[in-house]
C-alpha cells in the first residue's frame, strides 16, 4: 500500500543544518496500521508530513497505492490534495467557521464527489461511525475535545481515502478520554480496515493500535516489527527503554571471565558473550523480578543482593525500590510467605535467564550462562 | 543446576544499516509550480512599480550629471539654517515625547481597574487628522485671532497685549511648533514604552517596592534602565518622524520663516525645480532606508503589530491616583480641545478669536459643503481611500503569503519584507515627490487624474496591510490549511474557503484602520494633487492658505467625523486593532 524508500529531509535553522529524517525505508501493507513511535524531535512527524505532502523531502521516494507520489531523483512531488489520503491532526484542525456537517462535506466537495454529496449518506455514515450524528449542525467551538477529535476522525475517513495519517491525535485529550478514543479508533480500524500510519510518543497507544511498530530515533528507524517482537526482543537499549524495560544494571568484567555488578561487591555473574565488551548492560522490567527468600534454593537465573530503599505493600505484591551496587531498581513482585520488607532491609532478587535483555555498546547481545551452579 | 537453553553466541544484529556513501543533500532544493511563479512575478512587478521605481528615479535625478543637483542643493540660501532647524525640531520634540510618553505609559500601567479604558486615550491623536488638529491649534494660539490669546488678554497680568499687536502666545514660532510636534510624537513613544513596560512586568517593580523603594526610586533605578531598549528604538523611529515633520512647519512656520527640509522640498516642487527637490529629499530617503534595513525585525516588533497582552498591562502594581487625571489631561489637550475648537470656529459666522455662542449658525456648513470644490474633495478622498484599501489588501495578502510561507526561498521573502517596509520608513514626503515625478512622465501621465492618488495611497498602506495580515496568518497557524489540503482542496480553494474566512476580523480591522489613515492623508497627497483632484486634507490646506477660517474648520470637522466612523468600524470589526498599532 505504502512504500517509503530512502527518505531524507534536513532543515536549516539559524545557520545549522538539522537532519530531521535520514534514510528512512519501510512499507505498510494493505489494511495494516504502522505506528511510528519515538520522543519529540525524532523525525516521526516529519516523515508523516512528507507522506502527506506538507513537507518536501530532499531525497528518496514515496509510493502510495502503486503510484509514485514523490521521487526526489526525478523531481516529482504531488501536492497534498492529490494524494487521496485522510489526515487527522493533533489539534483536530476543525474549521471553526463551518458546522460539523460542513466540515464533513468539505472533503467531498473538494474532491468533487458529487454523487456522494447528493446522497448525503456518506456524511451520515461517517458521523455514525464516530457517534457524532447529534452534533451535525453544531459548530466545533460548541463541542468538547473528545467530540472534536471524533469529528476530525470522521472527516479524515469520509471520502474513503486509500490511506490514513494520524499525527498524535490523542495528545490533546485527558487521560480518561484518551483511553476511550483509543478504544474507538481500534474498533474503527477493525471495522473499516483502512491502511494507515499513526505517529505517537506514547508506548501504550503504540501497542494498542499498531499492527507493526517502528521505533524512531534522531531521524532513523531503530527497530521495526510486530509489537510482540519488539516487546520481547528489543534490538537496542533505546528501544528497550521504550517498551518498558526501565531497570538497568551495568556489569563490568571481573575475574575468571565473569561480570560483576558495577558498584556491587557480590560474586561475578557467569555469562558469556561472543564478542569482547568493555561493559554489559542488563535491562528488565519491574514485573520480571522475583523476590527470593533469604534461605537459598536453586534458582535458574541471576541472583542479586540488594537493600530496600523504599517499599509499598499492596496486599499480594510489593512495590520496592532496591539498591544493588550503584544502581537503583524498581521491583514489583509477589512477596514470599511471611516476608516483610522495610527500608534498609536486605533483599535477594532474582531474574531468570531468559528474561531481560542484555546490551553491549547499546545494541542487543545474546548471552549464554555458564553451566555451573549459582549458589549464594 | 542444568545449563539454560543455549542461546546463540554471536552478537545480536545491528539496527538498520546506514547506506554507504549516502549523498549529502543540499538544503533548500525546491520545485516550483507554475501558479507560484506567476503569482510571485505579479507581486514582484507590483512592488517594483509602486515602491522601487519612484524611489530609484528620485535617486537617479539627484545624482545625474555627476551630482549636479546635489551641488546646487548645497548651494541653496540658508541651507545650514534649514538643516539646523530640522535637526533641532526633531531632537527637542523627541526628547519631549520621550519624557511625556514614558510618563503616560507609566500612568497607564497604574490605572485603577475600573478606569482601564483610559489606556486608549494616548492612542487617539494618532488617528486624528494632523492637518485638522494643527489648524485647530492655529485657531487657538494664533497671536492676533487666537482663542486662547483672546482669553488671556482679558486677564490682568496680560493687559499689555492687545488684539492688534498680538497676544502673549505666538503659535507661529519655532518653540510652539516644537511643542505641538512633541505632543503629537508622544503618542508614538507611548506605544513603544507601553510595550516595553509590558515586557518589564509588574513583578520587578513590586520586588523593588517590597525591598523598600519608593515609587520614584523604583521607577528611576529599576524601570528606567529596563526600558532602555524601548526608549532607544522608539526614539530612533520618533526621530525619523520628527525629521520628516511636514504639516506643522508648513501650516505654522510660514509666518516666521521657520523652514525645515520637507517644506523646502515642497517649496522647490512648486517652483518646478524637481532636481533640487529630489536632492534635498536624499537625506530623508537614506535615513529611512537605513532604518528599514537595520531595524526590519524591530520595526515589526516595536510597532507591536503582534497582539499585545491585553489593553494596558494587567495588574501594574498599586493604582495611582494621578493616572486617570494625567491621561485625561493629555486626552483633553490633544483630542477634545482641537475638536471643540474646530466646532466653535465652524459654527461662528466670522472668526475673530472671540467666541459668541449666540451667533452660532450652521451657515458655514451649508456654504462650504455646497461648494463643488469641497464636495469633490470629499468624494475624491473617500473614493481614493476605499480604492486604496481594496487594492492594498490583496497585494498585502500576497506579500504576507510570500513572507510567511517563504515561497520562492528565504532570500525572496527577505527582499519582499524589506521592500514592503520602505513606505513606512521613508517619509511620505519623499514618496509623494517620487510619485509626482515618476508618474507624471510621458508614458504614464497620471498627473491630474485620481489614479496617481490611488496608486500613492496603495503604496503608503502596503506596510500596514502586510504586517497586519501577516500577524493574523501567524496566529492562525498551519494546521487548518494542512487539513484542507489533505482533504483534497487545492491552494485556491484552501485560501478562499478556509484561510480568508478565518482571518475575516483581522482583515476587516486592517481595512478600517487603513481607511482612517488614508482619509486624512495630507503630506504625500499635497504633492500629487491638482486643481481638480483634491482630497480633503489638501482642500483644507487651500482654505487655510486663503485665510478662510470657517471653511477650514468645516473641512476639519468633516474629516474628524469620517475618522470617527472609521475608528468605530475598526474597533468593532477587529478586536484590538487599535492596540495592534
pLDDT of residue B23: 37
- Do the beta carbons of residue A289 and residue A299 sit within 8 Å? no
For residue A271, pLDDT beyond 80: no
Which residues have a Cβ under 8 Å from the Cβ of B483 and sit 6 or more positions away? A87, A89, A93, A94, A95, A155
* Contact map slice: B 66-95 vs A, CB within 8 A: none
* Contact map slice: B 115-134 vs A, CB within 8 A: none
* Contact map slice: B 479-508 vs A, CB within 8 A: 479-480, 482-491, 493, 497-498, 501-502, 504
Q: Is A325 helix (H, G, I), strand (E, B) or coil?
A: coil
Q: Is B152 helix (H, G, I), strand (E, B) or coil?
A: helix
* Contact map slice: A 180-219 vs B, CB within 8 A: none
- HSE-CB for B209 with a 13 A CA cutoff: 11
User: In angstroms, how far is CA B44 from the centroid of its own chain?
Assistant: 24
- H or E element: which one contains A272? strand A271-272
Lowest mean pLDDT among A39-53, B27-41, B283-297: B27-41
Question: Do residue B485 and residue A86 have CB atoms under 8 angstroms apart?
Answer: no
Cβ-Cβ contacts under 8 Å between A and B: the total is 151
pLDDT of residue B407: 65
Question: Do residue A86 and residue B486 have CB atoms under 8 angstroms apart?
Answer: yes
pLDDT of residue B204: 76
**How far apart are alpha carbons A376 and B302 in whole angstroms?**
74
Residue reference for cell 501621465: B445
Grid cell in block for residue B551: 471653511
Q: pLDDT-derived band of residue B574, with 50, 70 and 90 as boundaries? A: low
Question: Do residue A54 and residue B7 have CB atoms under 8 angstroms apart?
Answer: no
DSSP letter, residue B11: B
Q: pLDDT-derived band of residue B319, with 50, 70 and 90 as boundaries? A: confident
B465-493 pLDDT, tens digit per residue, is 998 898 888 888 889 999 999 999 988 88
- In terms of CA atoms, which chain A residue is nearest residue B25? A58
- H or E element: which one contains B277? helix B274-294
Helix axes B428-439, B450-476, angle to 10 degrees: 130
Question: Do residue B27 and residue A300 have CB atoms under 8 angstroms apart?
Answer: no
Residue closest to A269 by CA, chosen among A298, A292, A303, A307: A303
Question: Order of strands, edge to edge, in the sheet holding A280-284?
Answer: A259-261, A247-253, A280-284, A357-360, A363-365
Q: Is A103 helix (H, G, I), strand (E, B) or coil?
A: helix
* Contact map slice: A 230-269 vs B, CB within 8 A: 235-236
Grid cell in block for residue B534: 483634491
**How far apart are alpha carbons A18 and A217 in whole angstroms?**
14
Q: Is A75 helix (H, G, I), strand (E, B) or coil?
A: coil
Residue reference for cell 545449563: B3
- In terms of CA atoms, which chain A residue is nearest residue B491? A81
**How far apart are alpha carbons B165 and B144 in whole angstroms?**
7
CB-CB neighbors (< 8 A) of A364 in chain B: 12-13
Residue closest to B150 by CA, chosen among B355, B333, B340, B344: B355
CB-CB neighbors (< 8 A) of B15 in chain A: 220-223, 235-236, 363
**How far apart are alpha carbons B440 and B446 in whole angstroms?**
5
Q: Is A198 helix (H, G, I), strand (E, B) or coil?
A: strand
A345 to chain B, any CB pair closer than 8 A? The answer is no
B272 to chain A, any CB pair closer than 8 A? The answer is no
pLDDT of residue B314: 45
pLDDT of residue A80: 87
- Do the beta carbons of residue B239 and residue B91 sit within 8 Å? yes
Residue reference for cell 528620485: B58
CB-CB neighbors (< 8 A) of B484 in chain A: 95, 106, 110
- Do the beta carbons of residue A356 and residue A288 sit within 8 Å? yes
Please count the residues of chain B. 581
Question: Do residue B482 and residue A360 have CB atoms under 8 angstroms apart?
Answer: no
pLDDT of residue B21: 36
**How far apart are alpha carbons A337 and A160 in whole angstroms?**
59
Q: pLDDT-derived band of residue B298, with 50, 70 and 90 as boundaries? A: low
- In terms of CA atoms, which chain A residue is nearest residue B480? A93
Query: Is beta strand A280-284 parallel, antiparallel or unpaired with respect to A290-292?
Result: unpaired
Residue reference for cell 508506548: A203
A15 to chain B, any CB pair closer than 8 A? The answer is no
* Mean of the per-residue pLDDT values of chain B: 83
pLDDT of residue B535: 93
* Mean of the per-residue pLDDT values of chain A: 87
Q: pLDDT above 90 covers what percent of chain B?
A: 37
Amino acid at each position: 500500500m505504502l512504500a517509503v524508500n530512502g527518505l531524507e529531509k534536513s532543515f536549516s535553522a539559524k545557520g545549522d543544518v538539522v537532519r530531521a529524517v535520514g534514510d528512512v525505508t519501510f512499507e505498510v501493507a494493505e489494511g495494516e496500521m504502522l505506528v511510528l513511535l519515538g520522543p519529540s524531535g525524532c523525525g516521526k512527524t516529519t516523515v508523516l508530513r512528507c507522506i502527506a505532502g506538507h513537507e518536501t523531502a530532499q531525497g528518496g521516494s514515496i509510493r502510495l497505492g502503486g503510484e509514485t507520489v514523490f521521487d526526489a531523483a526525478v523531481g516529482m512531488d504531488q501536492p497534498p490534495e492529490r494524494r487521496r489520503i485522510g489526515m487527522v491532526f493533533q489539534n483536530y484542525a476543525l474549521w471553526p467557521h463551518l458546522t460539523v456537517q460542513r466540515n464533513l462535506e468539505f472533503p467531498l466537495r473538494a474532491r468533487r464527489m458529487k454523487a456522494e454529496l447528493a446522497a448525503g449518506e456518506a456524511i451520515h455514515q461517517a458521523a455514525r461511525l464516530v457517534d457524532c450524528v447529534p452534533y451535525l449542525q453544531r459548530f466545533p467551538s460548541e463541542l468538547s475535545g473528545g467530540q472534536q477529535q471524533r469529528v476530525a476522525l470522521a472527516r479524515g475517513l469520509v471520502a474513503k481515502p486509500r490511506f490514513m495519517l494520524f499525527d498524535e491525535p490523542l495528545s490533546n485529550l485527558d487521560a480518561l478520554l484518551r483511553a476511550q478514543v483509543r478504544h474507538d479508533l481500534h474498533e474503527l480500524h477493525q471495522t473499516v480496515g483502512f491502511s494507515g500510519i499513526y505517529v505517537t510518543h506514547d508506548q501504550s497507544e503504540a501497542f494498542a493500535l499498531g499492527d507493526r511498530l517502528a521505533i524512531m530515533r534522531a531521524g532513523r528507524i531503530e527497530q521495526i516489527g510486530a509489537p510482540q517482537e519488539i516487546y520481547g526482543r528489543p534490538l537496542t537499549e533505546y528501544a528497550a527503554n521504550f517498551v518498558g524495560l526501565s531497570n538497568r544494571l551495568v556489569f563490568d568484567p571481573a575475574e575468571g571471565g565473569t561480570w560483576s555488578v558495577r558498584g556491587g561487591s557480590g560474586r561475578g555473574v557467569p555469562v558469556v558473550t561472543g564478542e569482547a565488551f568493555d561493559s554489559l548492560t542488563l535491562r528488565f522490567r519491574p514485573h520480571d523480578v522475583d523476590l527470593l527468600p533469604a534461605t537459598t534454593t536453586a534458582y535458574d537465573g541471576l541472583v542479586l543482593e540488594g537493600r530496600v530503599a523504599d517499599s509499598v505493600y499492596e496486599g499480594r505484591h510489593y512495590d520496592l525500590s532496591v539498591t544493588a551496587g550503584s544502581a537503583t531498581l524498581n521491583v514489583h513482585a509477589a512477596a514470599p510467605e511471611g516476608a516483610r520488607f522495610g527500608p534498609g532491609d536486605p533483599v535477594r532478587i532474582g531474574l531468570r535467564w531468559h528474561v531481560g535483555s542484555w546490551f553491549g555498546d547499546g545494541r542487543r547481545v545474546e548471552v549464554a550462562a555458564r553451566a555451573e551452579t549459582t549458589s549464594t | 543446576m542444568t545449563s539454560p537453553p543455549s542461546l546463540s553466541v554471536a552478537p545480536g544484529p545491528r539496527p538498520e544499516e546506514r547506506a554507504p556513501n549516502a549523498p549529502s543533500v543540499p538544503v533548500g532544493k525546491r520545485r516550483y509550480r507554475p501558479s507560484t511563479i506567476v503569482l510571485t512575478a505579479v507581486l514582484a512587478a507590483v512592488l517594483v512599480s509602486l515602491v522601487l521605481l519612484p524611489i530609484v528615479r528620485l535617486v537617479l535625478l539627484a545624482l545625474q550629471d555627476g551630482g549636479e543637483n546635489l551641488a546646487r542643493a548645497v548651494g541653496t540660501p540658508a541651507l545650514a539654517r534649514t538643516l539646523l532647524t530640522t535637526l533641532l525640531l526633531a531632537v527637542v520634540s523627541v526628547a519631549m515625547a520621550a519624557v511625556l510618553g514614558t510618563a503616560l505609559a507609566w500612568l497607564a500601567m497604574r490605572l485603577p481597574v475600573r478606569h482601564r479604558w483610559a489606556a486608549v486615550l494616548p492612542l487617539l491623536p494618532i488617528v486624528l487628522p494632523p492637518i485638522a488638529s494643527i489648524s485647530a491649534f492655529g485657531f487657538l494660539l494664533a497671536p492676533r485671532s487666537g482663542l486662547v490669546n483672546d482669553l488671556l488678554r482679558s486677564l490682568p497680568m496680560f493687559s499689555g497685549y492687545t488684539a492688534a499687536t498680538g497676544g502673549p502666545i505666538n503659535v507661529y514660532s519655532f518653540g510652539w511648533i516644537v511643542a505641538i510636534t512633541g505632543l503629537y510624537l508622544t503618542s508614538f513613544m507611548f506605544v513603544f514604552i507601553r510595550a516595553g513596560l509590558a515586557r518589564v512586568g509588574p513583578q520587578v517593580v513590586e520586588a523593588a517596592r517590597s525591598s523598600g523603594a519608593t515609587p520614584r526610586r523604583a521607577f528611576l533605578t529599576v524601570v528606567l534602565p529596563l526600558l532602555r531598549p524601548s526608549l532607544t528604538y522608539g526614539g530612533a523611529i520618533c526621530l525619523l518622524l520628527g525629521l520628516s515633520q511636514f504639516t506643522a512647519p508648513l501650516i505654522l512656520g510660514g509666518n516666521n520663516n521657520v523652514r525645515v527640509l520637507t517644506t523646502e522640498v515642497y517649496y522647490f516642487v512648486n517652483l518646478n525645480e524637481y532636481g533640487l527637490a529630489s536632492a534635498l529629499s536624499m537625506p530623508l530617503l537614506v535615513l529611512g532606508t537605513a532604518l528599514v534595513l537595520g531595524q526590519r525585525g524591530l520595526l515589526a516588533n516595536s510597532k507591536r503589530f503582534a497582539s499585545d497582552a491585553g489593553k494596558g498591562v494587567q495588574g501594574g502594581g498599586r493604582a495611582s491616583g494621578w493616572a486617570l487625571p494625567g491621561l485625561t489631561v493629555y486626552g483633553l489637550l490633544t483630542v477634545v480641545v482641537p475638536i471643540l475648537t474646530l466646532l466653535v470656529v465652524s459654527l461662528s459666522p466670522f472668526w475673530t478669536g472671540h467666541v459668541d455662542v449666540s451667533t452660532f449658525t450652521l451657515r458655514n456648513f451649508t456654504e462650504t459643503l455646497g461648494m463643488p470644490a469641497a464636495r469633490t474633495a470629499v468624494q475624491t478622498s473617500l473614493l481614493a481611500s476605499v480604492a486604496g484599501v481594496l487594492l492594498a489588501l490583496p497585494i498585502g495578502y500576497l506579500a504576507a503569503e510570500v513572507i510567511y510561507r517563504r515561497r520562492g526561498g528565504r532570500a525572496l521573502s527577505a527582499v519582499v519584507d524589506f521592500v514592503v517596509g520602505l513606505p513606512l520608513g521613508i517619509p511620505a514626503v519623499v514618496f509623494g515627490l517620487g510619485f509626482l515625478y515618476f508618474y507624471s512622465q510621458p508614458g504614464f501621465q497620471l498627473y491630474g487624474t485620481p489614479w496617481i492618488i490611488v496608486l500613492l495611497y496603495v503604496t503608503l498602506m502596503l506596510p500596514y496591510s502586510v504586517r497586519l495580515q501577516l500577524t493574523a496568518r501567524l496566529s492562525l497557524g498551519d494546521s487548518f490549511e494542512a487539513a484542507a489540503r489533505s482533504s483534497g482542496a487545492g491552494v485556491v480553494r484552501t485560501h478562499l474557503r478556509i484561510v480568508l474566512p478565518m482571518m475575516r476580523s483581522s482583515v476587516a480591522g486592517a481595512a478600517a484602520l487603513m481607511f482612517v489613515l488614508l482619509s486624512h492623508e495630507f503630506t504625500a497627497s499635497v504633492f500629487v494633487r491638482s486643481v481638480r483632484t483634491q482630497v480633503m486634507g489638501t482642500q483644507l490646506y487651500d482654505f487655510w492658505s486663503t485665510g478662510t477660517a470657517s471653511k477650514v474648520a468645516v473641512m476639519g470637522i468633516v474629516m474628524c467625523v469620517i475618522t470617527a466612523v472609521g475608528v468605530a468600524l475598526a474597533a468593532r470589526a477587529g478586536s484590538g486593532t487599535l492596540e495592534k498599532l
